[in-house]
Structure 1
Amino acid sequence: MSSLEALQELTRDARALALGEVIPPSAAESEVARVMQICNACRYCEGFCAVFPAMTRRLEFLKADVHYLANLCHNCGACLHACQYAPPHEFAVNVPQAMARVRGQTYHDYAWPLALGQLYKRNGLTLSLALVAALTLFLALAAALKGGWGALWGVDLGANFYHLFPHNLMVGLFAPIFLFAVLALAMGVRGFWRDVKPATSGADVSDAAASEAAHDVLRLKYLDGGHGDGCNNEDDAFSLTRRRCHHLTFYGFLLCFAATSLATVYHYAFGWVAPYDLPSLPKILGAVGGASLMLGTAGLWRLNLRRHPLQGDAAQKPMDLGFIALLFLVAASGLALWLVRITPAATPALALLLCLHLGAVMALFATMPYGKFAHGIFRTAALLRHNTEKRRPNPIGLGSD
């Protein structure tokens, strides 16, 4: 879709909302509805993942149903290679690709503020790396203006980077960006939840549903290909590599976040001023998390480049790679910063490496609400609705969960 067509579609939708009209489905939404009608008649893949049992509870697929199913799809690729109606068949059934295109649309449609939704279409690898470079340069210039170029090279910081950027200054820089990212993601998923809840029984989430959804999220249950053998990647062979790389990335990120959160508690609650070294708990969590994050993102980068072209939306590949690159750069620069800090002979590199690390972290936070990170939030919401809906009687008396 060209920029002009996208603008025309956005203007049409805004006008429809203002007049209280029903917004017509986009081409991507219509394709998912068409594919789901065919799949609902076939049902060969009914046991593959959560999408197909949810599909069997519907006879028609309206906009909210399509958004819900698209975010329930984990894009493992199993249904594409199992389907007798997949391309080059004239029915051209491609569930992973159709769902991926609608997922990208939902991130855009539910972005908050709405005007920033266009960033999903521009938030690619080049922009991510350019933002890191720009923020790194900004921080380096700020340090140079404060203490001269010697503040960046050749001055002994005493292995303490707070001598270059005081702790309160870092908090003042990063807290607003992080809090805005959390707010923007929360507002986006709130709109998604509001629209899909009536289409998924309308019932509130029970403790049992929330527990099962959390179990599904933490285990990445639906990246098992429906039978435990894993996803398809570049061919029809099953592999657990994608699931393992996602686990390394997910839990690596959580460990790094836990390390930062615990360090904040140490600093403000106990007065234990950073930086910390082994065997302190923040350093253990950060080191293990950083290594896990590097391994996971390196694996995801390789898998993304080798993914079968029919298994996803090629237009979203730059956004995927940009997010992977930012996570890898944050982890790699963080570990390198620690190693340089404990190496006395490497003091001159400490300031520049600190600017690089802080620039990467700031770029990650700034792009978080309008990049691939959103898929984890929206998918969790979809799984909550699925585990709530399947506990309700099937409204059409067909299929099973």
Structure 2
Amino acid sequence: MTAQLPNPRMHDPAKPTLELIQVLNLEEEEVDRQMRICNSCRYCEGFCAVFPAMTRRLEFGKADIHYLANLCHNCGACLHACQYAQPHEFAVNVPQAMAKVRGQTYAEYAWPSLFGRLYRHNGTYVVSALAVALSLFLLLTLFMNGTLLPGRLAGNFYAIFPHNTLALMFGSVFAAASLALIIALRRFWRSVSPADALGKPAKGAVLEASSAVLTLKYLDGGHGQGCNNTDDRYTLWRRRFHHFTFYGFMLCFAATAVATGYHYLLGLQAPYALLSAPVLLGTLGGIGLIVGPAGLLVMNFRRSPEQGDVAQRPMDRAFILLLLLVSATGLALLGLRDTAAMAILLAIHLGTVMALFITLPYGKFAHGLFRSAALLKFTIEKRRPDNLGLGGE
């Protein structure tokens, strides 16, 4: 079908205005072009948050495009429902166009700015090499100290690495990574949500955005049947594997927090019993970080190239593999902590955790924070009057 869309809001649905071409790069220009077409059609308005947010705009500047790109969950429903997708001459593919811009936003708002280049090279081999290098460094340290094979230490990790040394090393790296993420997120928020445009978020908006984040609301394809992965068939497994991954990560974080409280507040020293809160939380989290990332990795390899940006797959897979390494080495360490292999397993596990911390601000992890910010903007924005009278939620 090649008929021209009736469109009272734009001059040519297939071409952005000259002014916008001058300020947008090619990927952003493509999102602008496609959003103008979608704004005329609106068939997908109920699919996710992107399309109601789109209808509030007549034009799509850089900030709008960055906002919409991070609001997109790449479920793929709009691609398979679109009558203007290829082979139509308009060649609309919103998930792919959004994914390309989304990857750019991570690099553009990264802090320090120079480190934004790491996104271009954050592939499987880079992160894996970092994990291996750190593990080998720790193994070498153990060897130099003569504690590589210390015999049975009844799970006493601190007989190999003193608690304060580990706390200082990992606490410093995690604090630096958190600072970089916070500043990047602040840059993104200030760019897409000027203070005079949104103001302070209402409690209801924060709660709604939090609910959308915690339930992964927009990974249901807008109809509750799930995402498209390999073709136009729907599946909820992408959403489920994301839940395993997210809550597995949070359980592991909770285990660390509880263990810290045990150590500093209660004076209870590790190792902790198998039925203690830190061990139970860590075990459940580790299982979640095996099931979730393993499922996501399989789905990533099977995913249609039309769904998203193929160039970002190395970064996606690197993060997934690193999570798998952290969880697998952690569970192995727990299971074999009373054996002579404990020191080697501890060094490998700490190396992978350190690699994860170092790469958090410059890898796939950032997408969760940027998407959460975009969802908050959406819930704030839709509570405000639509002065353009264009519709939407």
TM-score class, shorter-chain normalisation, is over 0.9
- How far the C-alpha of 1:240 sits from its partner, in A, is 0.2
Task: Give 1:272's aligned residue.
Answer: 268
Distance 1:297 1:29 in 2: 30
Structure 1 residues 147-158: aligned runs within 5 Å: 148=146, 151-153=147-149, 155-158=151-154
Structure 1 residues 135-284: aligned runs within 5 Å: 135-146=134-145, 148=146, 151-153=147-149, 155-198=151-194, 201-284=197-280
Answer yes or no: is the 8 Å Cα contact 1:136–1:356 preserved in 2: yes
Task: Give 2:340's aligned residue.
Answer: 348
Distance 1:141 1:268 in 2: 30
Going from structure 1 to structure 2, the CA distance change for 1:399 and 1:365 (only over 3 Å counts) comes to: same
Task: Give 1:9's aligned residue.
Answer: none
Amino acid at match of 1:42: C
- How far the C-alpha of 1:278 sits from its partner, in A, is 2.2
SS of equivalent residue, structure 2 residue 306: helix
Aligned residue-pair number: 373
Structure 1 residues 370-385: aligned runs within 5 Å: 370-385=362-377
Going from structure 1 to structure 2, the CA distance change for 1:337 and 1:128 (only over 3 Å counts) comes to: same
Amino acid at match of 2:356: L
Answer yes or no: is the 8 Å Cα contact 2:32–2:65 preserved in 1: yes
SS of equivalent residue, structure 1 residue 28: helix
Percent of residue pairs identical = 61
2:287 paired with 1:299: no
Task: Give 2:109's aligned residue.
Answer: 110
SS of equivalent residue, structure 2 residue 265: helix
SS of equivalent residue, structure 2 residue 340: helix
Task: Give 2:323's aligned residue.
Answer: 327
Taking structure 1 as the reference length, the TM-score comes to: 0.91
Distance 1:251 1:201 in 2: 33
Distance 1:315 1:200 in 2: 36
1:119-156 Cα deviation digits (max 9, x unpaired): 0111111011111110001111111112x2xx112533
Indicate the RMSD between aligned Cα atoms, in angstroms.
1.3
Distance 2:291 2:22 in 1: 43
SS of equivalent residue, structure 1 residue 49: coil
Amino acid at match of 1:234: T
Task: Give 1:32's aligned residue.
Answer: 31
Answer yes or no: is the 8 Å Cα contact 1:200–1:389 preserved in 2: no
Distance 2:196 2:26 in 1: 23
Amino acid at match of 2:363: G
Distance 1:329 1:89 in 2: 44
SS of equivalent residue, structure 2 residue 167: helix
1:387 to 355, 379, 382: 379
Q: Unpaired runs of 5+ in structure 1? A: 1-21
Distance 1:42 1:233 in 2: 24
Distance 1:384 1:318 in 2: 29
Distance 1:320 1:23 in 2: 31
- How far the C-alpha of 1:202 sits from its partner, in A, is 2.3
- How far the C-alpha of 1:348 sits from its partner, in A, is 2.3
Taking structure 2 as the reference length, the TM-score comes to: 0.93
SS of equivalent residue, structure 1 residue 270: coil
Task: Give 2:44's aligned residue.
Answer: 45
1:294-332 Cα deviation digits (max 9, x unpaired): 000000000000111001111100000000001111111
Distance 1:89 1:331 in 2: 45
SS of equivalent residue, structure 1 residue 134: helix
Q: Unpaired runs of 5+ in structure 2? A: 1-20
- How far the C-alpha of 1:87 sits from its partner, in A, is 1.4
2:313 paired with 1:317: yes
1:257-288 Cα deviation digits (max 9, x unpaired): 00001100110111101121221111111111
- How far the C-alpha of 1:341 sits from its partner, in A, is 1.2
- How far the C-alpha of 1:88 sits from its partner, in A, is 1.8
